[in-house]
Structure 1
């Protein structure tokens, strides 16, 4: 007699009853043990009444059908189907299962145990656990339930994977596809275990190493993408690689039109999430740059990559015309005498504006007061204002020639606005008062500090989060 994974104890595991429906075809039932019936508040003396079908074994047509059920009495779905939708799993043309029986099916419980022991390795073989797919392969069931309305899975050698053309209740999985899925899931489990082991070993090593003052180690992530991902997750890191990010962006781009048509609200939500995450990453980068002593060129590059920040500083919709624009030469791209950091235009009126970018470290007030409580603008601030005004003058003087030579006719110089991004907001009430009095009287050049721009970004992030909160509550 086959023992399967263990010797069965009827008092612990229940028993099997085999009924021969007709020659070479039997139905196998599970009779629950008394302790399970008591746990389910059922009469243990009526065990026979609660027997539930486990198997159909058809030797003539060579198939075996499993009815996965829950066999634990303390569960609410006791003796009910184990899965949400799929009720049966059929193995068609099961040569392995029937080998040794000369085309005849077993009519006794011992023979049934032998059949169960010969089930493919992806299946639970112990009837006390309700049969069906072993837990690591439950994802195959989940996939079928998600992708179809079928209640029966048939694994067959001569069928293509997909719903039956005549009966939507049946979903075929080719033996080849089933084996491919089984091997892939096994591989993922192995990679996850290897990654977890590597992280555990490194973690233990690093705790001791830190106490001893010796260098720490990074866990070996291996070359397989899944193992890299599992290692990152095990470490608490879930960042996508550039390759993975490109794959996600590519997939989204490819299906954006269909998503917009079929699920516009989901696309809008996704766009909002992406914008918020992008904004938060931008804020983090801005904060890091503020902590460094960077040259003007680095900040010009930053605003060139993120021109929408200039929109917030400017106060109305703008389009960047050109960075490092020549406003005193014949062309915007030429070697003019006057170069502005950014030339932008109002997207509605085409009126232009000039941006000058300095650094957060640039002083905006003199260190010593001119009178008690009164501080004068620094030479850097005064010089930067005059620089911007001179660029404005040169641009307005050359605008006609620039438009003709550049063939850029949709820019105007009705009232060229100048914006200066410089320094940090001063500390102290007197210095703050002096700065505000000065810049509010600077009608031709708008002055914005670097930390004020950062605060605007933070306020935008808070606004987006608050606006998103009601939607998440509904979801």
Structure 2
């Protein structure tokens, strides 16, 4: 007979496999019952002991159960439908010859950071129970195999998961538990301060206020101080998520406010784009960088056109290369305007010179710089190449025609001196098939658009005030 405490230290026995079976050892755990006497427990006969594990030279097969005889779930499977957990060993081991040797082998491989001890029925520790609970959502799955490779997969009725993955999950769960405990600790301190200290010594312990929009007691501040930048950022993100999740309902309940919010977002986005553009103009950036910038902000290039446009290709081949790799004509951007016309946009740099530094005749006539005239010639050549190779391109440019191909060059900044500027305007207006736009002119287009949007905002606010 056993008392209520000694049943928590059951005996174990080891049984070898039969000669015609794969060599193994079965580890059985002693089990108990009582006769309505809380302090009197009796052992079952050995043929009713629970087989806790079967040990092979290369793996340990466990059958985890609950081992508290005082609980109703005594000897039921610890992980529900996941009745078997197999641990694959890295190296082949000699089979144990005694129950103590078997327990030592199990303790050596099934470490306490992941596994329960043999006395507690093996299986995953309590913090890792969500793993088996999740596995039970997969139909017909009843076995977990812990491996040493890097593959997570299902093999028939088995889920194969690396031991390293289980350990990573354990660390993640531990971190979450520590954070939760810290939140609870802070919450208790907050309640003590507000419920007791603020009333006992209000000047020394003024009440704290919550600053989270969700009501979680995560961070607290003095009522007279500002929230931290991190908390302000979290609040803004929470506000954005709230609006996004409730956009349809807001459109029904407050359509005017939603339109105003949309317009304000557009204004702020445009202002940020202008600020970024201005900063980039002050730097010495490459053509490739500017190409990526315009590709990420295609709206800027759309301002070059009077009609809606669609980007067809970046770094497009107007003419393919020869067999030796030479002769290719590669353009920066190929657009299609509303309808069938195409448009080529070539990007240079803000620092690209537009006019010659010295006058061509007297002190008033300045010729175009080679970089500008070369860019103009380049897009005209690409235009011609597209038309000449149209039979090759038409399958990829369905819906377009080569009759009208607009050419645009974005290059340099507008000359500040009167005569070079006048000559620049004369030259580009004489380029019949090519439009030349400077980087600062593109920026001015954005500024003008922002000015109009801001003016509309002022008018709308005035109209709203009159209505109210």
The TM-score with structure 1 as length reference comes to: 0.49
**How far apart, in 2, do the equivalents of 1:319 and 1:306 lie?**
13
**How far apart, in 2, do the equivalents of 1:228 and 1:386 lie?**
53
Q: How far apart are residue 411 of structure 1 and its match?
A: 2.6
- Pairing 1:465–2:454 present: yes
1:369 aligned residue (350, 359, 379) = 359
Query: Which residue does 1:420 correspond to in 2?
Result: 409
Q: How far apart are residue 403 of structure 1 and its match?
A: 2.7
Query: Greater helix share, 1 or 2?
Result: 1
Task: Quickly say closer, same or farther: Cα 1:303–1:263, change in 2 above 3 A.
Answer: same
Query: Which residue does 1:356 correspond to in 2?
Result: 346
2:318 aligned residue (298, 312, 327) = 327
2:260 aligned residue (264, 269, 274) = 269
Asked if the contact 1:326–1:336 (Cα under 8 Å) also holds between the matched residues in 2, the reply is no
Deviations 1:74-110 (A, max 9, x none): xxxxxxxxxxxxxxxxxxxxxxxxxxxxxxxxxxxxx
**How far apart, in 2, do the equivalents of 1:138 and 1:289 lie?**
41
Query: Which residue does 1:109 correspond to in 2?
Result: none
- Pairing 1:338–2:370 present: no
Query: Which residue does 2:195 correspond to in 1?
Result: 121
Secondary structure, aligned partner of 1:326: strand
- Pairing 1:258–2:249 present: yes
Task: Quickly say closer, same or farther: Cα 1:415–1:123, change in 2 above 3 A.
Answer: same
Mapping of residues 135-174 of structure 1, within 5 Å: none
Query: Which residue does 1:450 correspond to in 2?
Result: 439
**How far apart, in 2, do the equivalents of 1:400 and 1:427 lie?**
45
Deviations 1:282-317 (A, max 9, x none): 111000000001000010011101111112123322
**How far apart, in 2, do the equivalents of 1:328 and 1:252 lie?**
49
Q: Count matched residues.
A: 262
Deviations 1:385-427 (A, max 9, x none): 01000011111222332232x3x41233221000000001012
Deviations 1:28-50 (A, max 9, x none): xxxxxxxxxxxxxxxxxxxxxxx
Task: Quickly say closer, same or farther: Cα 1:303–1:335, change in 2 above 3 A.
Answer: farther
**How far apart, in 2, do the equivalents of 1:435 and 1:453 lie?**
16
**How far apart, in 1, do the equivalents of 2:241 and 2:342 lie?**
36
**How far apart, in 1, do the equivalents of 2:285 and 2:357 lie?**
22
Mapping of residues 43-58 of structure 1, within 5 Å: none
**How far apart, in 2, do the equivalents of 1:189 and 1:432 lie?**
59
**How far apart, in 2, do the equivalents of 1:467 and 1:322 lie?**
35
Deviations 1:138-177 (A, max 9, x none): 99xxx9xxxxxxxxxxxxxxxxxxxxxxxxxxxxxxxxxx
Mapping of residues 96-107 of structure 1, within 5 Å: none
1:398 aligned residue (389, 401, 410) = 389
Q: How far apart are residue 260 of structure 1 and its match?
A: 2.2
Task: Quickly say closer, same or farther: Cα 1:349–1:336, change in 2 above 3 A.
Answer: farther
Secondary structure, aligned partner of 2:331: strand
Query: Which residue does 1:410 correspond to in 2?
Result: 399
Task: Quickly say closer, same or farther: Cα 1:250–1:425, change in 2 above 3 A.
Answer: same
Asked if the contact 1:293–1:361 (Cα under 8 Å) also holds between the matched residues in 2, the reply is yes
Query: Which residue does 2:221 correspond to in 1?
Result: 189
Unaligned runs of at least 5 residues, structure 2:
1-193, 201-205
Task: Quickly say closer, same or farther: Cα 1:258–1:123, change in 2 above 3 A.
Answer: farther
Asked if the contact 1:351–1:413 (Cα under 8 Å) also holds between the matched residues in 2, the reply is yes
Secondary structure, aligned partner of 1:413: coil
Asked if the contact 1:326–1:335 (Cα under 8 Å) also holds between the matched residues in 2, the reply is no
Task: Quickly say closer, same or farther: Cα 1:415–1:262, change in 2 above 3 A.
Answer: same
**How far apart, in 2, do the equivalents of 1:246 and 1:340 lie?**
40
**How far apart, in 1, do the equivalents of 2:258 and 2:314 lie?**
33
Task: Quickly say closer, same or farther: Cα 1:245–1:298, change in 2 above 3 A.
Answer: farther
1:298 aligned residue (289, 298, 301) = 289
Secondary structure, aligned partner of 1:275: helix
Query: Which residue does 1:440 correspond to in 2?
Result: 429
Q: How far apart are residue 122 of structure 1 and its match?
A: 8.7
Mapping of residues 30-45 of structure 1, within 5 Å: none
**How far apart, in 2, do the equivalents of 1:445 and 1:392 lie?**
10
Query: Which residue does 1:159 correspond to in 2?
Result: none
**How far apart, in 2, do the equivalents of 1:361 and 1:274 lie?**
32
**How far apart, in 2, do the equivalents of 1:260 and 1:227 lie?**
32
**How far apart, in 1, do the equivalents of 2:327 and 2:300 lie?**
27
**How far apart, in 1, do the equivalents of 2:329 and 2:310 lie?**
21
Asked if the contact 1:329–1:402 (Cα under 8 Å) also holds between the matched residues in 2, the reply is no
